[in-house]
A and B are shown apart, each in its own frame.
Chain A
Amino acid sequence: MYDRFKPFRSVIVVFLLLAALLFSGNPASAQYPGYSAIPDLPSFKKKFTVESATVESISSGFTQEKILSALTEKITSSGKFWFKRSNKVRIEYLKPFVYLMVMNGDKMLIRDEQKESRINVKSNRLFQQVNRIMIDCVQGTILDSKDFSPKVFEDKNTYLLEMTPTSKTLREFFQTIVLVVDKKDYSAISIVMNEPGGDKTTITFTDKKLNTQLSDAVFTL
């Protein structure tokens, strides 16, 4: 029986990987009204990396809306997000359910309404991949990631990054991930996760505060 349910472990790992992508402080997207393509992607990548590096910390609220198009159903949740350079992230869902994920270096804490788990990401290759993507995101190097093929667009106030997964694993979950980034401070305004089946999840960040003093206690595991 044990082996029959070994797949659940992979699901947990994939979930963490997806969460890492969704809550990155950086953006990407394409073919959208009001936006035009950025012609020189390599130059943008350099600029994006430099500007993102100036963000030492983020604290923010977020609202998440999951839409199941075929079932005409949606569920909205909300919570808080914190990032502190380097390698510290806390994502906390507060309504209508409680769910916490904290990443601190090579360690990770996951707490749902039933259980708390601590994970050493070094113990598993997939967890290492999660960690790498998370760091790529928060340090502004996600555009160089081999896991995605990016297209970048802009309007007057924002950049729109469309990230198309290149790996089979990620393509199973995402058609594209679209991130809208504020030109003012290079922080994410919203993230849209488009699934192959037509469902989508939109996360909108609210009440963002950049480079404020964040205690390490926020990221205690």
Chain B
Amino acid sequence: MDKKIKKQTGSSDRDAAFVRAVQGGDMAAFDQLVVKHKNKLFNMVYWFLGDYQEANDCAQEIFIKVFKGIKKFRFESAFSTWLYRIAINTCKNKLKSSAYRWEKRTVPFENPDSSKEGNRSYEIQNGSLSPANELEKKEKIMRIQKAVNSLPREQNRVIVLRDIQGLTYQEIADITGLNLGTVKSKLSRARMELRNRLNRAQIFADIHR
């Protein structure tokens, strides 16, 4: 089964047009770029950082950095690639500076109180959750979120870019600066590790039901 990978044809051409307009001083074109990319970017940043408020602050900062540096953009890569590079670097710096908060957020699966710590996870409040399966879904999402966030940084990065954002191996290589073989091997290990952690969490949850 092939993974359905989302691609927007012609998207990069539109992006290039907007970028040229912004470089010419058109603020409306910048707004268009923000509107077009904010959802995907925000989602990615959220899965990198694991906290909604942090993701909100960081995503805004990323777009501001894009605006400041857009005059230096030379169209050597796709705008989205450049945008994600900035996003990853910004999130890296944020995680370095808030390592303690990151550790606090990553609750070990053995901790019986982990299920009670729902505040950070359920700040999402995205209306896509079905009311009928709300509790089960919430628990499931929480487990996945914690498991993803608990992965080593580079594994977390590649699995979010590939399995959550839907980017290709080559796009991931362009954004992260890793070579293609490294991306594949890291992704393979990340998926296995995530599977193991989710299995452990499931077992733990089943025992304490």
A, B bound? no
Q: Which residues of chain B have a CB within 8 Å of any CB of chain A?
A: none
Q: Which residues of chain A have a CB within 8 Å of any CB of chain B?
A: none
